[in-house]
């Protein structure tokens, strides 16, 4: 029954009720019968009560329920729904309220998902991030920001940036971002346990009327990049230094030779032999540098071919044997006879020459150098062990760096450039292998290399 059809009905009912009452009163008057009057009034009372009950149940109660449901929705409880058996307009209203509640709850769910996604991005971004409003109050800091500056969210949120961040450069950047209303870029150094370098970008935030609402500051860790840059600079400095020494001595001795008359043949010969040695050093250095630069190229390819370990060893051992005899060192080879695997032929040769060469160079007379080669489950193990001077523990982490030498003077005497182990490590890495070193001063050094057994495919680095 619709509301608009209900109102005339009440009206008619009331009119009929009135007529009934009036008729009752008239009859009662005429008949002087108060019993009839009582009956009429009772009937009227009952009908009125029933009507009131009907109206209360059909209209007042659902409206009350609708009001409390709407109250719940206003409070943010979007799971509130209305349940009441009604028909007509009230049913329509109830359905619409429930529909509204459902839409609101979907909307809030979407908003929640979006907020969660945003939080996940902000929290997991690799940069530190801080959001500041136009008055300078901090509104948001992410996990990375806290790991850089320490503390918890509560230490920052709601505070003025200049009260809580004590880095002058950051203050200046924020001020400039507000002042120029454009992105500002700079870099800072932060000394925690270690020295960390950061690139900071300050970006202003505008509302839809283009008014400045605040700024976001992003801190990007560039420590690794800085390290690489330092390494590159060091490398250039090292190369120049290494070249300078032999060139200076070649120039010095050749000038002396040119100035002097060449009567003293002995001295002249001595000078020429120095020039010869130094030029050999230069040649070795340049050869090593070329090898390294070839290995370091991004598209550096291994030329894989099937290698018979025995054959390779036979090719390199004669020269090394010679060197070992010269140094009074015993060179022993212990290997499975039939080892064969796919690898870069020249690379493997280079590994053997560099490692065995080092062991012979850094082992005193009557010492021993052993080469072991064996096939393990899915790798080839090459081990070079010596009873030499060893490497101090603190030098081990740096031993594969380019130009690193434990004892500069001594290794220069051996004609070393400090590139040998760097080259070995590169070759091993190109083969996706592993290199391990153990050493004890005055006891000896052991280097183990594990190369994966590669199938017959050409692999890029």
Ligand X SMILES: Nc1ncnc2c1ncn2[C@@H]1O[C@H](COP(=O)(O)OP(=O)(O)OP(=O)(O)O)[C@@H](O)[C@H]1O
- Interaction site with ligand X (CB under 6 A): 288, 354, 358-359, 362, 386, 388-391, 399, 404-407, 411, 416-422, 445
Taking alpha carbons only, the member of 131, 182, 192 closest to residue 156 is 131
Q: Which does 304 bind (CB under 5 to 8 A by kind): ligand X, Mg ion, none?
A: none
367 binds Mg ion per the rule CB under 5 A: no
Residue 305, SS3 per DSSP: strand
Q: Which does 399 bind (CB under 5 to 8 A by kind): Mg ion, ligand X, none?
A: ligand X
In this complex, which beta carbon is closest to ligand X, that of residue 69 or of residue 363? 363
In this complex, which beta carbon is closest to ligand X, that of residue 221 or of residue 386? 386
In this complex, which beta carbon is closest to Mg ion, that of residue 65 or of residue 323? 323
Q: Which does 242 bind (CB under 5 to 8 A by kind): ligand X, Mg ion, none?
A: none
Q: How far is the CB of 397 from Mg ion (least distance, A)?
A: 18
Q: How far is the CB of 369 from ligand X (least distance, A)?
A: 8
Q: Which does 288 bind (CB under 5 to 8 A by kind): ligand X, Mg ion, none?
A: ligand X
- Contacts (CB under 5 A) with Mg ion, residues 385-424: 416, 420
In this complex, which beta carbon is closest to ligand X, that of residue 142 or of residue 358? 358
Q: Which does 6 bind (CB under 5 to 8 A by kind): Mg ion, ligand X, none?
A: none
In this complex, which beta carbon is closest to Mg ion, that of residue 347 or of residue 416? 416
Q: How far is the CB of 291 from ligand X (least distance, A)?
A: 10
| CA-angle at 221, arms to 218 and 223, nearest 5° | 155
In this complex, which beta carbon is closest to ligand X, that of residue 11 or of residue 410? 410
Write the CA distances from 183 to 137, 179, 329, integer angstroms.
Answer: 19, 11, 66
In this complex, which beta carbon is closest to ligand X, that of residue 128 or of residue 416? 416
CA-based torsion, 154, 160, 165, 170: positive or negative: positive
Q: How far is the CB of 400 from ligand X (least distance, A)?
A: 8
Q: Which does 127 bind (CB under 5 to 8 A by kind): ligand X, Mg ion, none?
A: none
Query: For Mg ion, which stretch binds (CB under 5 A), given 70-78, 354-362, 430-438, 452-460?
Result: 354-362
Q: Which does 214 bind (CB under 5 to 8 A by kind): Mg ion, ligand X, none?
A: none
Tokens, residue 294 = 């070839």
Residue 93, SS3 per DSSP: helix
Structural contact between residues 91 and 66, judged by C-beta atoms closer than 8 angstroms: no
**CB closest to ligand X, residue no:** 420
142 binds Mg ion per the rule CB under 5 A: no
358 binds Mg ion per the rule CB under 5 A: yes
Q: How far is the CB of 438 from ligand X (least distance, A)?
A: 11
- What number of helices (H) and strands (E) belong to the chain? 13, 12
Range 279-299 burial, b when 16+ CB lie within 10 A, else e:
eebbebbeebbebeeebeeee
Q: How far is the CB of 243 from ligand X (least distance, A)?
A: 14
Tokens, residue 339 = 């080892």
Structural contact between residues 3 and 88, judged by C-beta atoms closer than 8 angstroms: yes
Q: How far is the CB of 293 from ligand X (least distance, A)?
A: 14
Q: How far is the CB of 261 from ligand X (least distance, A)?
A: 37
Q: How far is the CB of 296 from ligand X (least distance, A)?
A: 15
Taking alpha carbons only, the member of 325, 127, 104 closest to residue 217 is 127
Taking alpha carbons only, the member of 110, 111, 133, 131 closest to residue 122 is 131
Measured distance CA(429)–CA(443) in Å, rounded: 28
215 forms beta bridges with 132, 204
| CA-angle at 170, arms to 165 and 171, nearest 5° | 75
DSSP for residue 174: H
Q: How far is the CB of 223 from ligand X (least distance, A)?
A: 26
- Residues in contact with 192: Cβ distance below 8 Å, sequence separation at least 6, in sequence order: 148, 150
In this complex, which beta carbon is closest to ligand X, that of residue 20 or of residue 284? 284
Residue 159, SS3 per DSSP: coil
Measured distance CA(186)–CA(193) in Å, rounded: 22
In this complex, which beta carbon is closest to ligand X, that of residue 69 or of residue 238? 238
Q: In sequence order, which ranges of 78-167 are alpha helices (DSSP H)? A: 88-124, 143-149, 161-164
In this complex, which beta carbon is closest to ligand X, that of residue 127 or of residue 359? 359
**Residue ranges binding Mg ion (CB under 5 A):** 358, 416, 420
């Amino acid at each position: 029954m619709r509301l608009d059809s209900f109102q005339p009905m009440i009206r008619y009912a009331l009119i009929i009720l009135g007529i009934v009452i009036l008729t009752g009163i008239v009859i009662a008057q005429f008949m002087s019968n108060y019993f009839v009057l009582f009956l009429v009034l009772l009937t009227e009372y009952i009908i009125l009560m029933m009507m009131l009950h009907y109206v209360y149940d059909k209209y007042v109660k659902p409206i009350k329920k609708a009001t409390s449901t709407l109250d719940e929705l206003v409070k943010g409880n979007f799971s509130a729904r209305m349940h009441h058996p009604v028909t007509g307009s009230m049913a329509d209203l109830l359905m619409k309220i429930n529909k509204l509640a459902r839409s609101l709850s979907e909307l809030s769910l979407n908003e929640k998902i979006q907020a969660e996604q945003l939080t996940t991005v902000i929290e997991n971004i690799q940069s530190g991030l801080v959001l500041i409003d136009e008055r300078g109050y901090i509104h948001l800091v992410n996990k990375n920001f806290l790991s850089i500056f320490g503390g918890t969210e509560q230490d920052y949120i709601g505070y003025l940036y200049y009260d809580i961040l004590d880095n002058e450069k950051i203050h200046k950047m924020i001020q400039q971002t507000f002042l120029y209303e454009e992105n500002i870029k700079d870099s800072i150094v932060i000394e925690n346990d270690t020295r960390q370098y950061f690139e900071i970008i300050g970006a202003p935030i505008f509302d839809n009327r283009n008014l400045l609402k605040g700024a976001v500051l992003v801190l990007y860790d560039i420590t690794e990049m800085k390290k690489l840059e330092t390494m590159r600079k060091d490398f250039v400095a090292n190369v120049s230094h290494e070249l300078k020494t032999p060139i200076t001595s070649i120039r010095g001795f050749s000038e002396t030779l040119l100035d002097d008359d060449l009567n003293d043949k002995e001295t002249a010969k001595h000078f020429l032999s120095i020039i010869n040695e130094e030029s050999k050093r230069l040649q070795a250095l340049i050869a090593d540098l070329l090898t390294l630069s070839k290995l370091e190229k991004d598209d550096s390819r291994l030329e894989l071919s099937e290698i018979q370990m025995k054959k390779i060893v036979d090719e390199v051992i004669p020269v090394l044997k010679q060197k070992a005899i010269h140094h009074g060192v015993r060179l022993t080879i212990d290997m499975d006879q039939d080892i064969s695997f796919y690898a870069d032929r020249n690379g493997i040769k280079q590994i053997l020459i560099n490692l065995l060469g080092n062991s012979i160079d850094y082992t005193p007379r009557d010492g021993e150098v052993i080469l072991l080669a064996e096939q393990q489950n899915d790798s080839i193990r090459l081990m070079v062990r010596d009873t030499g001077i060893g490497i101090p523990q603190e030098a081990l982490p740096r031993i594969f760096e380019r130009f690193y030498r434990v004892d500069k003077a001594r290794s220069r005497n051996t004609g070393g450039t400090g590139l040998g182990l760097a080259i070995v490590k590169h070759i091993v890495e190109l083969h996706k292998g592993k290199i391990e070193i153990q050493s004890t001063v005055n006891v000896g050094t052991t280097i183990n290399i594990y190369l994966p057994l590669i199938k017959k495919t050409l692999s890029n680095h």
